[in-house]
Protein backbone atom coordinates (compact mmCIF):
# COMPACT_ATOMS: atom_id res chain seq x y z
CA UNK A 1 0.00 0.00 0.00
CA UNK A 2 2.81 2.39 0.89
CA UNK A 3 4.54 1.55 -2.38
CA UNK A 4 1.38 2.41 -4.34
CA UNK A 5 1.11 5.68 -2.43
CA UNK A 6 4.61 6.71 -3.47
CA UNK A 7 4.02 5.62 -7.06
CA UNK A 8 0.96 7.86 -7.19
CA UNK A 9 3.11 10.96 -7.04
CA UNK A 10 2.62 14.31 -5.37
CA UNK A 11 -1.17 14.39 -5.76
CA UNK A 12 -1.51 11.48 -3.36
CA UNK A 13 -0.74 13.85 -0.46
CA UNK A 14 -3.76 16.14 -0.92
CA UNK A 15 -5.85 13.02 -1.56
CA UNK A 16 -4.63 11.60 1.76
CA UNK A 17 -5.49 14.87 3.50
CA UNK A 18 -8.98 14.78 1.98
CA UNK A 19 -9.43 11.18 3.14
CA UNK A 20 -8.32 11.90 6.70
CA UNK A 21 -10.57 14.96 6.93
CA UNK A 22 -13.52 13.10 5.45
CA UNK A 23 -13.13 10.14 7.83
CA UNK A 24 -12.85 12.50 10.81
CA UNK A 25 -16.10 14.25 9.85
CA UNK A 26 -17.85 10.92 9.24
CA UNK A 27 -16.89 9.59 12.68
CA UNK A 28 -17.97 12.82 14.38
CA UNK A 29 -21.31 12.90 12.53
CA UNK A 30 -21.98 9.22 13.28
CA UNK A 31 -21.52 9.89 16.99
CA UNK A 32 -23.52 13.14 16.96
CA UNK A 33 -26.45 11.83 14.93
CA UNK A 34 -26.63 8.62 16.96
CA UNK A 35 -27.08 10.76 20.08
CA UNK A 36 -29.57 13.02 18.31
CA UNK A 37 -31.84 10.12 17.38
CA UNK A 38 -34.40 9.12 20.01
CA UNK A 39 -37.68 7.22 20.07
CA UNK A 40 -39.77 10.30 19.31
CA UNK A 41 -43.17 8.69 19.89
CA UNK A 42 -42.13 7.31 23.27
CA UNK A 43 -40.59 10.63 24.31
CA UNK A 44 -43.59 12.69 23.27
CA UNK A 45 -45.91 10.25 25.02
CA UNK A 46 -43.99 10.81 28.28
CA UNK A 47 -44.03 14.56 27.72
CA UNK A 48 -47.76 14.67 27.05
CA UNK A 49 -48.53 12.53 30.10
CA UNK A 50 -46.38 14.78 32.28
CA UNK A 51 -48.00 17.93 30.89
CA UNK A 52 -51.52 16.63 31.40
CA UNK A 53 -51.05 15.05 34.82
CA UNK A 54 -48.29 17.02 36.53
CA UNK A 55 -48.17 20.34 34.71
CA UNK A 56 -45.68 22.51 32.92
CA UNK A 57 -42.78 22.18 35.35
CA UNK A 58 -42.72 18.39 35.07
CA UNK A 59 -42.95 18.64 31.28
CA UNK A 60 -39.89 20.88 31.29
CA UNK A 61 -38.06 18.32 33.40
CA UNK A 62 -38.93 15.55 30.93
CA UNK A 63 -37.42 17.64 28.11
CA UNK A 64 -34.31 18.39 30.16
CA UNK A 65 -33.79 14.71 30.92
CA UNK A 66 -33.91 13.75 27.23
CA UNK A 67 -31.16 14.41 24.70
CA UNK A 68 -31.35 15.46 21.08
CA UNK A 69 -32.82 18.26 18.97
CA UNK A 70 -36.46 17.17 19.35
CA UNK A 71 -36.34 17.53 23.14
CA UNK A 72 -34.37 20.79 22.89
CA UNK A 73 -36.90 22.29 20.46
CA UNK A 74 -39.91 21.40 22.62
CA UNK A 75 -38.12 22.62 25.75
CA UNK A 76 -37.56 26.01 24.12
CA UNK A 77 -41.27 26.24 23.32
CA UNK A 78 -42.42 25.23 26.80
CA UNK A 79 -40.24 27.92 28.34
CA UNK A 80 -42.33 30.54 26.51
CA UNK A 81 -45.77 29.21 27.50
CA UNK A 82 -46.27 32.04 29.99
CA UNK A 83 -45.78 34.65 27.26
CA UNK A 84 -48.38 33.29 24.86
CA UNK A 85 -48.73 30.68 22.18
CA UNK A 86 -47.27 32.79 19.39
CA UNK A 87 -44.07 33.06 21.42
CA UNK A 88 -44.11 29.31 21.98
CA UNK A 89 -44.34 28.72 18.25
CA UNK A 90 -41.65 31.28 17.46
CA UNK A 91 -39.31 29.82 20.09
CA UNK A 92 -39.68 26.32 18.65
CA UNK A 93 -39.03 27.61 15.12
CA UNK A 94 -35.87 29.39 16.25
CA UNK A 95 -34.64 26.42 18.28
CA UNK A 96 -35.40 24.10 15.36
CA UNK A 97 -33.32 26.23 13.00
CA UNK A 98 -30.37 26.21 15.43
CA UNK A 99 -30.62 22.45 15.91
CA UNK A 100 -30.83 21.85 12.17
CA UNK A 101 -27.69 23.92 11.58
CA UNK A 102 -25.92 21.84 14.22
CA UNK A 103 -27.06 18.59 12.60
CA UNK A 104 -25.82 19.71 9.16
CA UNK A 105 -22.42 20.83 10.42
CA UNK A 106 -19.63 19.11 8.51
CA UNK A 107 -21.77 18.02 5.56
CA UNK A 108 -20.32 20.83 3.42
CA UNK A 109 -16.85 19.40 4.02
CA UNK A 110 -17.99 15.93 2.97
CA UNK A 111 -19.57 17.34 -0.19
CA UNK A 112 -16.33 19.21 -0.90
CA UNK A 113 -14.28 16.03 -0.55
CA UNK A 114 -16.67 14.18 -2.86
CA UNK A 115 -16.19 16.85 -5.53
CA UNK A 116 -12.49 17.55 -5.08
CA UNK A 117 -11.09 14.02 -4.65
CA UNK A 118 -11.93 12.82 -8.20
CA UNK A 119 -10.62 16.08 -9.65
CA UNK A 120 -7.34 15.64 -7.78
CA UNK A 121 -7.24 12.10 -9.12
CA UNK A 122 -7.79 13.27 -12.67
CA UNK A 123 -5.17 15.97 -12.18
CA UNK A 124 -2.77 13.22 -11.13
CA UNK A 125 -3.80 11.34 -14.27
CA UNK A 126 -2.87 14.31 -16.43
CA UNK A 127 0.44 14.69 -14.59
CA UNK A 128 1.26 11.01 -15.08
CA UNK A 129 0.45 11.12 -18.78
CA UNK A 130 2.59 14.23 -19.22
CA UNK A 131 5.51 12.39 -17.62
CA UNK A 132 4.90 9.41 -19.89
CA UNK A 133 4.94 11.53 -23.05
CA UNK A 134 7.99 13.43 -21.85
CA UNK A 135 9.80 10.10 -21.44
CA UNK A 136 8.82 9.12 -24.97
CA UNK A 137 10.01 12.49 -26.32
CA UNK A 138 13.38 12.18 -24.60
CA UNK A 139 13.92 8.62 -25.81
CA UNK A 140 12.55 9.23 -29.30
CA UNK A 141 10.88 5.82 -29.19
CA UNK A 142 7.99 4.13 -27.41
CA UNK A 143 9.34 1.68 -24.88
CA UNK A 144 6.93 0.17 -22.32
CA UNK A 145 9.49 0.61 -19.56
CA UNK A 146 9.78 4.32 -20.33
CA UNK A 147 6.09 5.12 -19.98
CA UNK A 148 5.24 2.60 -17.26
CA UNK A 149 5.94 4.96 -14.35
CA UNK A 150 3.85 7.80 -15.77
CA UNK A 151 0.91 5.58 -16.67
CA UNK A 152 1.10 3.91 -13.26
CA UNK A 153 0.93 7.30 -11.55
CA UNK A 154 -2.04 8.25 -13.72
CA UNK A 155 -4.03 5.13 -12.89
CA UNK A 156 -3.20 5.12 -9.18
CA UNK A 157 -4.32 8.71 -8.60
CA UNK A 158 -7.52 8.17 -10.56
CA UNK A 159 -8.33 5.05 -8.54
CA UNK A 160 -7.46 6.80 -5.28
CA UNK A 161 -9.69 9.80 -6.02
CA UNK A 162 -12.68 7.63 -6.90
CA UNK A 163 -12.05 5.27 -3.96
CA UNK A 164 -12.22 8.25 -1.61
CA UNK A 165 -15.20 9.98 -3.22
CA UNK A 166 -17.55 7.00 -3.56
CA UNK A 167 -17.79 5.89 0.11
CA UNK A 168 -17.83 9.47 1.36
CA UNK A 169 -20.73 10.23 -1.00
CA UNK A 170 -22.57 7.23 0.44
CA UNK A 171 -22.05 8.50 4.00
CA UNK A 172 -23.10 12.01 2.96
CA UNK A 173 -26.36 10.68 1.53
CA UNK A 174 -26.96 8.61 4.66
CA UNK A 175 -26.44 11.63 6.91
CA UNK A 176 -28.77 13.80 4.80
CA UNK A 177 -31.55 11.20 5.00
CA UNK A 178 -31.07 10.81 8.77
CA UNK A 179 -31.15 14.58 9.30
CA UNK A 180 -34.31 14.86 7.19
CA UNK A 181 -35.97 12.27 9.43
CA UNK A 182 -34.98 14.18 12.58
CA UNK A 183 -36.25 17.46 11.11
CA UNK A 184 -39.59 15.83 10.30
CA UNK A 185 -39.76 14.56 13.89
CA UNK A 186 -39.10 18.09 15.19
CA UNK A 187 -41.85 19.56 13.01
CA UNK A 188 -44.39 16.86 13.89
CA UNK A 189 -43.76 16.99 17.64
CA UNK A 190 -43.80 20.81 17.66
CA UNK A 191 -47.19 20.80 15.97
CA UNK A 192 -48.46 18.09 18.34
CA UNK A 193 -47.25 20.05 21.37
CA UNK A 194 -49.12 23.16 20.21
CA UNK A 195 -52.29 21.06 19.86
CA UNK A 196 -51.90 19.70 23.40
CA UNK A 197 -51.25 23.16 24.84
CA UNK A 198 -54.36 24.57 23.16
CA UNK A 199 -56.36 21.58 24.35
CA UNK A 200 -55.22 22.20 27.93
CA UNK A 201 -56.29 25.83 27.70
CA UNK A 202 -52.93 27.57 27.50
CA UNK A 203 -54.06 29.60 24.49
CA UNK A 204 -57.46 30.68 25.84
CA UNK A 205 -56.31 34.11 27.00
CA UNK A 206 -54.91 34.91 23.55
CA UNK A 207 -58.14 33.75 21.91
CA UNK A 208 -60.22 35.95 24.22
CA UNK A 209 -57.92 38.91 23.58
CA UNK A 210 -58.17 38.40 19.86
CA UNK A 211 -61.97 38.11 20.06
CA UNK A 212 -62.28 41.34 22.02
Q: What is the DSSP string of 57-73?
A: HHHHHHHHHS-SHHHHH
Q: What is the pLDDT of residue 211?
A: 43
CA 123 from centre of chain: 28
pLDDT at position 210 is: 44
pTM confidence score: 0.83
Render pLDDT for 26-78 as a digit per residue (tens, 0 to 9).
999 999 999 888 899 999 999 999 999 988 899 999 999 998 999 999 999 99
Q: Which pLDDT belongs to residue 139?
A: 66
Q: What is the pLDDT of residue 107?
A: 93
> What pLDDT score was predicted for residue 193?
93
**What is the predicted pLDDT for the residue at 10?**
82
Check residue 95 and give its pLDDT: 94
What is the spatial distance between Cα 66 and Cα 61, in angstroms, rounded to a whole number?
Answer: 9
Contacts 24+ apart (CB under 8 A), 74-78: 74/44, 74/47, 74/189, 74/190, 74/193, 77/190, 77/193, 77/194, 78/193
Using one digit for the tens of pLDDT, what is the confidence trace for 52-62?
998 889 999 99
Which residue ranges in the chain fall short of pLDDT 70?
1, 4-5, 8, 133, 136-137, 139-150, 203-212
Amino acid sequence: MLELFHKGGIFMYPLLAALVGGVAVILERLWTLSRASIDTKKFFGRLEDALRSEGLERALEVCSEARGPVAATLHAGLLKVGQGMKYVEKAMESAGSVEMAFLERGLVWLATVVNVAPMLGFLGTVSGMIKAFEAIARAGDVEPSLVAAGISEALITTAAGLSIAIPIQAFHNYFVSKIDRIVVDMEETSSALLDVLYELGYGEEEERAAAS
